[in-house]
Amino acid sequence: MTVKLWSCLRSFTSLNHLNISDSSLSFPPLPPELPSVLKLSAEKVTSQSYEGVLSSLPGLRVIDITTDDAERDIPRITAGLCRRHTGEQQLTHIKLTTPSSLPLEKKRVSSETMKGLGLLIKYKFKNLHRLDLYRVRGTCEEDLVYLIECCRLVKSMRHVVLESCRTTEGGLLEFHLKDLQTSPGDLSVLVYDIDGETVKDVESFKYLGSTKNSDASCTNDIKIRIAIAKKRMVDLHVLWNDRNISTGLKIKLVKTLVWSALLNG
C-alpha cells in the first residue's frame, strides 16, 4: 500500500512539504523519487525506512526529524542523506529532535554517530546554513566540539543550535565557544540547557505579584509560557545578529514576542 501511495505522490508536482507521522507505514529500500519535495518533517517513522525515504528526495532543502531512539536512527538518517543521487547537495537546514519524555538512554548517541554526522556535514553539504540538535545527548563534549568544527568548515553555515546535548558549566565546550567568539567567521553557535532536560519544578515562586506553589493549577501553564518564550528567543537569534535591523526594532520584537509569551502565554 505504501509503495502505491508513494508512486501516486509523484503526480503532485507542486508537493513541496512532505509530513510523515505514522509508524504503521513502511517504505521500500528504493522508493520512486519525489523531486518536488523541498522539506521533510518526520516522526514515528520506522528506523529502516529513513534510508529509502531520504534517498528518494533529491531536491530536499530542509529536514525536521523527531526520533524516539537517537543512536538507532541517526546513523540511518546520515546513510540516507549520503545515498541521495544529486551532483550538489542543496540541503540548507537539518533539525534533529528527541522528545523530552524519552528515557535518557534513548537520547544518547555514540562518539561514532556524532562524528559521522559531522563528517557528513563537512564533506557533503556545502550549502548548509543551519543545524539544530534538540536533546540529542553526546557521549562527551569533545564530540560536540568536533561537530562544531565540522560546521565551521562549511562556508555557508551560519547557525548551530544545541539544546540539552550534555554540556557542563566551565567544560571544554564552553572554553571552545569563548575561543570561537574571537575567531573570524560568520558562524553563530547557541548552546543552552535548562536543568539538563526540562524546566525545573520549584516549591514556590512569585509571579506577577502573587506567590505560586507546586500544588497550584497554574504550574504547567507557567512551564508552557517559558517554553514558548524560549522557542521564540531561538527564532529571534537569527534576527538579532542581522546588522540591517536596528537595535530599537530588535528590542520591540523581544518585548512583543518573548515578554508577551511570559505574561500572557
Is residue 16 located within the same domain as residue 137?
Answer: yes
Strand bridging mode 39-43 / 17-20: parallel
| 214-221 mean pLDDT | 53
User: How far is 152 from 187, CA to CA, in rounded Å?
Assistant: 7
Residue numbers of the domain that contains 218: 202-265
Is residue 130 located within the same domain as residue 234?
Answer: no
| 78-107 mean pLDDT | 84
- Nine-digit cell string for 247: 537595535
The number of folded domains in the chain is 2
For the cut 70, the answer to whether the pLDDT of residue 86 exceeds it is no
**For the chain, what percent of residues have pLDDT higher than 70?**
76
- Confidence at residue 1, expressed as pLDDT on a 0 to 100 scale: 46
**For the chain, what percent of residues have pLDDT higher than 90?**
26
State the pLDDT confidence band at 131, using cuts at 50, 70 and 90: very high
User: Cα angle vertex 221, ends 217, 223, to 5°?
Assistant: 120
Is residue 164 located within the same domain as residue 256?
Answer: no
What CATH number corresponds to the domain at position 19? 3.80.10.10
Is residue 139 located within the same domain as residue 169?
Answer: yes
Is residue 127 located within the same domain as residue 64?
Answer: yes
What are the b/e assignments for 135-166, b being 16+ CB within 10 Å? Answer: bbbbbebbbbbbbbebbbebeebbbbbbbbbb
- Confidence at residue 92, expressed as pLDDT on a 0 to 100 scale: 93
State the pLDDT confidence band at 78, using cuts at 50, 70 and 90: very high
Of 95-99, 142-146, 179-183, least confident by mean pLDDT is 179-183
- Confidence at residue 87, expressed as pLDDT on a 0 to 100 scale: 47
Q: Are 45 and 53 in contact (CB under 8 A)?
A: yes
Sheet order of strands, 39-43 included = 17-20, 39-43, 62-66, 93-97, 130-134, 159-163, 188-192
For the cut 60, the answer to whether the pLDDT of residue 52 exceeds it is yes
- Confidence at residue 220, expressed as pLDDT on a 0 to 100 scale: 61
- Confidence at residue 128, expressed as pLDDT on a 0 to 100 scale: 93
Which residues, in sequence order, are CB contacts of 144 under 8 Å at separation 6+? 114, 138, 162, 165, 166, 167, 173
Instruction: Answer with the one of 140, 173, 198 that is the final residue of a domain.
Output: 198
User: How far is 61 from 109, CA to CA, in rounded Å?
Assistant: 25
Is residue 158 located within the same domain as residue 91?
Answer: yes
Is residue 183 located within the same domain as residue 150?
Answer: yes
Is residue 156 located within the same domain as residue 60?
Answer: yes
State the pLDDT confidence band at 89, using cuts at 50, 70 and 90: low
- Nine-digit cell string for 121: 556535514
- Nine-digit cell string for 154: 562549511
Is residue 173 located within the same domain as residue 206?
Answer: no
Is residue 184 located within the same domain as residue 228?
Answer: no
Give the pTM.
0.68
Reduced to 3 states (helix: H, G, I; strand: E, B; else coil), residue 36 is: coil
Give residue 235's identity as a one-letter amino acid code: D
Rg (CA), the chain: 20
Instruction: Answer with the one of 171, 198, 225 that is the final residue of a domain.
Output: 198
For the cut 80, the answer to whether the pLDDT of residue 61 exceeds it is yes
Q: What is the pLDDT of residues 225-236, one digit of tens each?
A: 777 778 878 777
- Confidence at residue 233, expressed as pLDDT on a 0 to 100 scale: 80
Is residue 72 located within the same domain as residue 125?
Answer: yes
Is residue 231 located within the same domain as residue 159?
Answer: no
Higher pLDDT, 115 or 47: 115
Instruction: Answer with the one of 160, 178, 198 that is the final residue of a domain.
Output: 198
Q: Average model confidence (pLDDT) for the chain? A: 78
